[in-house]
Amino acid sequence: MATTTPIRESGLVDRGALEQKVKDMYRRVAKEPEGEFHFAMGRPLAEELGYPPADLDRIPRQALESFAGVGHFLGLAAIRPGETVLDLGSGSGTDTFLAALYTGPTGRVLGLDMTDEQREKAQRLARENGFHNISFHAGYIEEPPFDDASVDVVISNGVINLSAEKDRVFAGIARVLRPGGRLALSDIVTESPLPEKVKCDSTLWAACIGGAMQQDDYRGGITAAGLEMVAFQDNPQYRFLTDAAQAASRSYGVKSVNLLATKPE
């Protein structure tokens, strides 16, 4: 296991240390997907989570190798031809590529990610495989660099738990969605609040556990940003791999959920 750097001092998250730890982890996910991680990855994971194999056959294989999502929410998203979709924390692009199949050439898909190696890999695969309606952007999900009311659907998979400023993420989503637009995502939440010792473990944070928010607070954050919750479902297919991750999951009810919310007209 990687060494653990403390990421909280006096109850505050050290944002710089956290960002570095998360980037280190997902740089490896992009470049060495065959390596050892706290979480499952790749096509076997996607199939277990419920992604239709026929759709997975239509996206670049190398994108799928680095898939590190935690659920299949694209059924809830119900993306339609011609829509504009924003994928927050797009990684190597599995959901971005699938969304582009669903929007068709009259729609477009924007991927946003802070880790250069993930974004560059996804951009190269889009170019090499003729996905002309996708663009990948550098930036932070806390301040999405897109216009107000410019997006029909925001999607995200296994990412918001990694942010130390989830309220800013939810506010940014509400800002970029057009009235009537949708948010559909999978993420990790908890049933009980996590103790400091778990939140302080930077490796568990980067593995999508340490930053997980209590589920009622997570829902409350989304509605406080002005969205209406339509569906919030447990996603029992998702399982953690290592002993430390499984122990946290058992003790605090760390789990994957799928949700759909809408921005009022």
Ligand X SMILES: C[S@@+](CC[C@H](N)C(=O)[O-])C[C@H]1O[C@@H](n2cnc3c(N)ncnc32)[C@H](O)[C@@H]1O
Ranges within 96-125 binding ligand X (CB under 6 A) = 113-115, 118
SS3 226: coil
d(C-alpha 127, C-alpha 202), whole Å: 34
Contact between 205 and ligand X by CB under 6 A: the answer reads no
Smallest separation (angstroms) from ligand X to the CB of 89: 3
**Least distance (Å) from ligand X to the CB of residue 9?**
20
Q: Which is nearer to ligand X, 32 or 228 (CB)?
A: 32
**Is residue 184 within the footprint of ligand X (CB under 6 A)?**
no
Q: Which of residues 10-49 bind ligand X (CB under 6 A)?
A: 22, 26
Which residue's CB is nearer to ligand X, number 159 or number 222? 159
Beta carbon nearer to ligand X, 69 or 107: 69
Tell me which residues in 54-83 interact with ligand X (CB under 6 A): 67-69
Contacts with ligand X by CB under 6 A: the residue count is 23
Q: Are 149 and 177 in contact (CB under 8 A)?
A: yes
Work out whether 221 is an interface residue with ligand X (CB under 6 A). no
Burial, 53: exposed, middle or buried (Cβ in 10 Å; 0-12, 13-18, 19+)? exposed
Q: Is residue 203 close enough to count as binding ligand X by CB under 6 A?
A: no
Q: How deeply is 174 buried, as exposed, middle or buried, from its count of CB atoms within 10 A (0-12, 13-18, 19+)?
A: buried
Among positions 120-159, residues that touch ligand X (CB under 6 A) are 140-142, 157-159
Residues 6+ apart with CB under 8 A from 242: 1, 38, 207
Count of other CB atoms within 10 angstroms of residue 24? 14
